[in-house]
Amino acid sequence: MESVKAYDFNTEYFKMDEEVAMQYAKEVLKFFPIDSELTCKEIGDGNLNYVFRVVDEESNKSVIIKQAGPVARISDEFKLSPDRNRIESEILQLQHKLAEGLVPKVYKYDSVMNCCCMEDLSDHEILRGALLKHKTFPMFAEHISTFMVNTLLLTSDIVMGHKEKKDLVKSFINPELCEISEDLVYTEPFFDCERNDVFEKTKPFAKELLWDDEAFLLETAKLKFEFMTNAQSLLHGDLHSGSIFVKEDSTKIIDPEFAFYGPAGYDIGNVIAHSIFAYINGMSTMEDGGEKENYIAWVKQTIVDVVDKFVEKFNKVYDEKQTEKVAKYEGFKKYYLENILSDTSAIAGLEIARRVLGLAKVKDITIIQDEEVRYNAEKYCLQVAKELIMNRKYIIAGKDYLDIVEKY
Ligand code: SR1
Ligand code: MG
């Protein structure tokens, strides 16, 4: 009989491999009987962590173990506190209460091994991957708008007691991951930053359109300070299509390790930006015909619905759940929502620009093989991005986004 190596999971952190993850699932998590025959695969494809899927084929039970390392997976230039795993576990549990059914269940957070054990969502697929196959998800806008209204508005000073809210601000202070966003979203895409490896053909266009435009750079500076100082809502903080699992009738939001108290528009802007990436990928890579028409029509409708459903549900929840006396004053709700919506537009623009010009790019663009087609897609993205940032005060409804998406 093969002997099983004994690991000490209680004293000191060490990085798991597949064998260790199986052992952990039995011994610590007690998710499987000790004598069960398990399989395990590391399935993480994000930039930071390791994700193990442990399965018992016989009982069909499975679990996910997500472990944070001391450096980012994408590059050891990023030394990151494993506290991000605590943040992720606690936020998932909080979001589970605020937006039931829209996040995976957490089974355990382990502060020694820096891992979070959670529900396996393998019957779903990652939204970005599904979009790259040009699949459509008719319920997506409905689900994501509910998720955003519930998690953003219910954690704001409009609804929460202000002391209780400040306790959450304290718990989810997230300096290292915020610094990544401050650098990667707000700063480095807007000059010729060496580590960004910008697509060569696009560089002169980026220089003329963005890097040399002082009025534009000033707006990015204002937005960076808004990100760093406006503790409005408890954000997911990285709500792109790689952080969302989907199947036809279900949406599950994962990976909230970038969570902190910031401007509510940050999450909504991310969802719109990555929907626009789905649009430009479809336009650039699909053959003309019915399939392309259906897909493009669905993406456009999704962009419109994400914004308009957010606004509709926001108004309703605000009226039902507001507790702050002055938030009831005539005109305040409109003022508050308009600020969120202008942030949303600007952040959609920043996210689009940074995924083209920054360190962390998106497959929607990078898989475009033909250089001329990719160049045109990147030019399109940068023009849309600039308009979303510069005209943010006027981009407040789904239709306004549609006009810009169709304009270039
Ligand atoms: C170093 S991390 C790069 C990017 O991956 C994450 O998902 C965030 O979007 C971050 O900006
Ligand atoms: Mg992630």
Which whole number is the average pLDDT over 220-224?
Answer: 99
Nearest CA to ligand 1 atom 9: 238
- What CA–CA distance (Å, rounded) separates 355 from 156? 29
- What CA–CA distance (Å, rounded) separates 172 from 169? 5
Q: DSSP assignment, residue 119?
A: E
pTM of the prediction?
0.96
- Determine if ligand 1 sits within 6 Å of the CB of residue 93: no
- What CA–CA distance (Å, rounded) separates 239 from 268? 8
Backbone angles phi, psi at 89, to 5 degrees: -65, -45
Whether 2 has a pLDDT exceeding 70, the answer reads: no
Q: How confident is the model at residue 338 (pLDDT cuts 50, 70, 90)?
A: very high
- What CA–CA distance (Å, rounded) separates 188 from 177? 15
**Mind listing the pLDDT tens digit for each residue in 341-351?**
999 999 999 99
**Mind listing the pLDDT tens digit for each residue in 57-101?**
999 999 999 999 889 988 888 989 888 999 999 999 999 999 999
What type of residue is 248?
Answer: E
- Determine if ligand 1 sits within 6 Å of the CB of residue 238: yes
Mutate to test the pocket of ligand 1, among 88, 179, 180 (most ligand atoms within 8 A of CB): 180
**CA 2–ligand 2 middle distance (angstroms):** 37
CA distances from 43 to 50, 162, 288 (A): 8, 40, 34
**Mind listing the pLDDT tens digit for each residue in 200-211?**
999 999 999 999
- What CA–CA distance (Å, rounded) separates 344 from 145? 13
**Mind listing the pLDDT tens digit for each residue in 262-290?**
999 999 999 999 999 999 999 999 999 99
- Determine if ligand 1 sits within 6 Å of the CB of residue 180: yes
**CA 46–ligand 2 middle distance (angstroms):** 5
- Determine if ligand 1 sits within 6 Å of the CB of residue 187: no
- What CA–CA distance (Å, rounded) separates 375 from 201? 6
SS (H, E, C) 308-344: HHHHHHHHHHHHHHCCCHHHHCCCHHHHHHHHHHHHH
